[in-house]
A and B are shown apart, each in its own frame.
Chain A
Amino acid sequence: MRPWQKVLIVAVNIYLLLFFGPVAGFDIFRIIPEIASKPSTLLQQLLIGIANGSIIAIIALGYTLVYGIIELVNFAHGDVYMLGAFMSLTIIGAFGVTAESTGAQKIVAILVAFLGAVAFTATANVTIERVAYRRLRNAPRLASLISAIGVSFILQNVGLFWGGLKAFFPIMGVNAAAPKAFPELIGRIDVFKDILGWNVPISFSTKDLLVITVASSLMIGLRLFVQYTRLGKAMRATAENRDAAKIMGIDVDRVIAFTFLLGGSLAGAAGLLVGLYNNTAVFTMGFTAGLRAFTSAVLGGIGNITGAMLGGFLIGILAAFSDQYFSSRWTNAWVFAVLVLVLVFRPTGLLGESIGQKA
């Protein structure tokens, strides 16, 4: 294709976007004046996007780890994250802490919820791998994808069932399918205004700070783990070439199980974080979050840990912008549109290496 043809195609597409975009909220004649009149909102949405994006990024890491090592789109991962949120909600409910409890009580409850949720989702993920994926490792690849979709449905139903157990966990509320209310444990104190005393038009709450800190440390920790430990090296070797890794004496089954364990525990952590951040959990949350996270993983370059983080932040920011400037009703469509566009035009993502025929 000649360069001028490419330019023409891009121009036509931009024109079409301007033409039909307004129907889906992308109306630059409305958005540009809106941004110009209040630029601080843009920064505010950027912060919200980064906070949400860091949660998405943690989930995306689970997709990218698993895809990197066995080339499976672990469709059930989003639902494992949902179970993490439900587990932490259950534990917090068992402690009986509320927004009025003392700081020490809250910290203990959150720590126990963190450990419980992480242990639970890690176990769940390893079990899923053992039961539903291991036997299919050498089957046609679509077989394991379909199996993963099946697992996702089962887990969603587990969430629905769990949410209906109000007899044992009163915190679940009356309606099984309804969103569950997480108690407000962190509090929404503005870091800029109330702690640092700056007079800025944007707010940055303790919640945002917590989420971003925890998420970044988890991501950096994972990056270092994969880069420098023996097990991390084994993971990379298995991802590179499973048979060769086996010949070199790596217990491939164990490494894969461990990858699922890592992904599962990250999902559990994300579940707790999202509960603390958004104060809500619902049994269908795994599907949307999972697709957003998968989009981020693909956007960053699937199989690439740094890429998943980058993609997570980008998708978080896109979603926040779309909520603010386009229309929150259309946000999912825009995110999925990004997913489709990336997969179609750049399946290797922003940072990914060439995966050629694998895609």
Chain B
Amino acid sequence: MQKLRTALIIGATSAAITFLFGGWSAVVVGVIAGAVIGMTYGQRSALRTPNGIGREAVVPGLVGGLVVVLGGVIHQFIVRPATGQSPFFTHTLRFFGSNAQIDSITVLIISSVVAILAAAAAAFLIGSAQGLPPDKRNRQIAFALGGFLLLFPFYEQITNLNWMGALITVQIYILLALGLNIVVGYAGLLDLGYAAFFAIGAYTTALLNSPRIEIQWNFWLVIWIAAAVAAIAGIVLGAPTLPLRGDYLAIVTLGFGEIVPVIFRNLIAVTIREPFTRFCFVGCDPAVEVRIACLYSCEGPLNLTGGEAGVNPIGRPVIPFTPDSLFGSSSYLPWYFLVLALIVFSIFLISRLRDSRIGRAWMAMREDELAASQMGIDPVKTKLLAFSMGATFSGFAGAFYGAYIAAIFPGVFDFSVSVIILCMVILGGLGNMIGVIIGGILIMGTDRLFLPQIATLLKKFMQVSVLPNVSNEALRDFLSTSVDPIQMRLALFGIVLVIMMLVRPEGLVPSAERRAELHAGEEPRGAPVTADEPTT
């Protein structure tokens, strides 16, 4: 029993998801829980052979899967009735065009059996990988992960799980968090205005690929331009901050992060003229302005960004030899794979950057700026590179976001976005890409997937089971309007930030250096900094 405790804990945590969604979600959650269990048990195992470790992890995997399935059963027979839905209903399966009806009890049985088996298989696969030498281990895990990520959207499509929209948003934010991780995690520059670069990327895409000002370039070109513009913006906005450090740097970046959306919001009457030609010399009529040396939009003020209404529509990507409607609003699949490709590409680039001379310079700067500059690192170049590299990836994210939503509004890029991205980086672990991705999935998954589901269920639960029994008018009103988890999302991020800072400032999956640094006072000085963070 003692040995299975971890499996039970992981299973129970994952079961929260099946508890909320029920049905087909069990398989996905089972695979994830199984993989986590395999990872934990594999690392703990005293055995050496991959097969031995894998077999050892199977039983915990089965147990974890069982707990996950239990969550689904509870959803079906307790949560659904309590929220006024019948546990018996027909489920629709979609096989790319043709639909099939299936009974909910059959769904439960099939998904439960598959979930338990899948959890055990995932635990075996990931567990056995722990017994392999590092490069083979990473390859096996990468294959497993890749297979899961490739198969998941089709599974989602067939079972009508309806997670894809949320998942793509999660991926966009992961891309952003990976970029911010360069600035905050590697270079140690706290950037509170990261959403500005996201906005710059998105607006570049919007202005270069929309009928608004009649420039419609191809998305595949525009995404690179957006990244480049964001990188240049990173240098331009980074340059004034060079003499600053610590909290002043943070506040200046916050200032930029506030100014940029204001600019995009208000570029609705643009005319640029050379100022001195506007001086009215003797004898001229001030009402008739001198119109020489007008540089931009001379016929009249130009509404460049559409103000509060934003830019709408924005052109979508087109791949040659495929139907133009491939990237449309009807199917999430192409978008999912596009952003997945962007993430993989970014991870590759960032891990190369991190291990390069520049990456080591960033980390040296983060540890001790003075010492680093004495060792011949140019602080100006290094910091500016960090800002511009970090901004590049948010340029990608912004370009994708603009094309995906097909419309952008200035309100999307406010301070809370910067903080949410920061929250992801901090929760996962500063300076560790795997940590950042996990942090991103946890934060945005909660925000976009679980909170809405909890809110829906809670609302139904209130209507069906609570409100009819409450007689007090004020209390009824309070329960029906104020109990809304979606409304509490900002507090959720705030609580994550405060608790992480108080309890575990290095994040859930920290990089070794960061952990050593943040606990410098607690451990003996020069505590061994053992493993480098694993290469992805």
Contacts and interface: CB of A to CB of B under 8 A. Distances in A.
B275 A142 contact: no
Contacts of B419: 149, 153
Contacts of B256: 336, 340
B255 interface: yes
Interface string B241-284: 10111111011101110110011011100111111101100000
A150 interface: yes
Task: Provide the main secondary structure of the chain B interface.
Answer: helix
Interface in A287-334: 287, 291, 294, 298, 327, 329-330, 332-333
A164 B495 contact: no
Contact of B272 (A19, A132, A156, A164): A19
Given A19-B274, A143-B505, A153-B493, A340 B246 contact: no
Given A141-B246, A151-B494, A340-B252, A168 B474 contact: yes
A142 B184 CA distance: 11
B501 A144 contact: yes
A146 B507 CA distance: 13
A39 interface: no
B169 to A, nearest CB: 19
B501 to A, nearest CB: 4
A154 interface: yes
Interface stretch (A5-13, A21-29, A82-90, A225-233): A21-29
Contacts, number: 173
Given A24-B266, A344-B240, A287 B247 contact: no
B478 A167 contact: yes
Nearest to A156: B490
Given A18-B275, A153-B494, A343-B252, A135 B487 contact: no
Interface string A69-87: 0011100000000000000
Contacts of A20: 272
Nearest to B418: A149
B504 to A, nearest CB: 11
B270 A339 contact: no
A167 B258 contact: no
B497 A150 contact: yes
Contact of B270 (A23, A146, A165, A294): A23
Contacts of B276: 18
A329 B265 contact: yes
A241 interface: no
Given A161-B482, A161-B488, A167-B477, A150 B501 contact: yes
A176 B487 contact: yes
Contact of B247 (A138, A145, A333): A145
B496 interface: yes
Which of B251, B416, B419, B476 is packed against the most chain A CB atoms within 10 Å? B251
A337 B495 contact: no
A147 interface: yes
Nearest to B505: A143
Contacts of A344: 240-241, 243-244, 252
A136 B501 contact: yes
Contacts of B498: 131-132, 147, 150-151, 154
B241 to A, nearest CB: 7
Interface residues of B, number: 62
B286 interface: yes
Given A19-B275, A145-B190, A150-B493, A337 B247 contact: no
A168 B490 contact: no
Contact of A294 (B243, B251, B416): B251
Contacts of A158: 491
B361 to A, nearest CB: 20
A146 B422 contact: yes
Nearest to B472: A167
Nearest to A139: B505
B151 interface: no
Contacts of A339: 251-252, 255
B255 A340 contact: yes
B244 A330 contact: no
A200 to B, nearest CB: 29
> B243, B254, B477: which has the most chain A beta carbons within 10 Å?
B254
Contact of A145 (B245, B250, B274, B275): B250
Interface string B468-508: 00000111111001100001111101111110011001000
Contacts of B426: 146
Contacts of A278: none
Contact of B245 (A135, A143, A332, A359): A359
A347 interface: yes
Interface in A6-61: 15, 18-20, 22-24, 29, 33
Interface in A173-187: 176
B319 interface: no
Contacts of A135: 502
Contacts of A131: 498
B521 interface: yes
A112 B248 CA distance: 38
Contacts of B259: 332-333, 336-337, 340
Contact of A73 (B247, B422, B501): B247
A340 B475 CA distance: 47
A307 to B, nearest CB: 16
Interface string A89-106: 000000000000000000
Given A153-B494, A359-B244, A330 B474 contact: no
Contacts of A22: 271-273
A3 interface: no
B484 to A, nearest CB: 8
Contacts of A294: 251
A226 B419 CA distance: 35
A150 B495 contact: yes
B224 interface: no
Interface string A255-279: 0000000000000000000000000
A167 B487 contact: no
A278 B168 CA distance: 42
A23 B272 contact: yes
B481 A166 contact: yes
B501 A147 contact: yes
Contacts of A18: 275-276
Contacts of A327: 266
Most chain-A CB neighbours within 10 Å: which of B263, B271, B474, B494? B494
Nearest to B487: A160
A291 B258 contact: yes
A333 B501 CA distance: 31
Contacts of B501: 132, 136, 139, 143-144, 146-147, 150
B190 A142 contact: yes
A29 B460 CA distance: 61
A67 to B, nearest CB: 9
A167 B481 contact: yes
Contacts of B497: 146-147, 149-150, 153
30 contacts: A19-B272, A23-B267, A29-B278, A33-B286, A138-B521, A139-B505, A142-B246, A146-B501, A147-B497, A150-B497, A153-B419, A154-B491, A156-B490, A157-B490, A164-B481, A165-B482, A167-B475, A167-B481, A167-B482, A176-B481, A291-B258, A294-B251, A330-B262, A330-B266, A336-B258, A339-B251, A339-B255, A340-B240, A343-B255, A359-B244
Given A142-B246, A160-B490, 7 more contacts: A147-B501, A153-B493, A156-B490, A161-B488, A291-B258, A327-B266, A339-B251
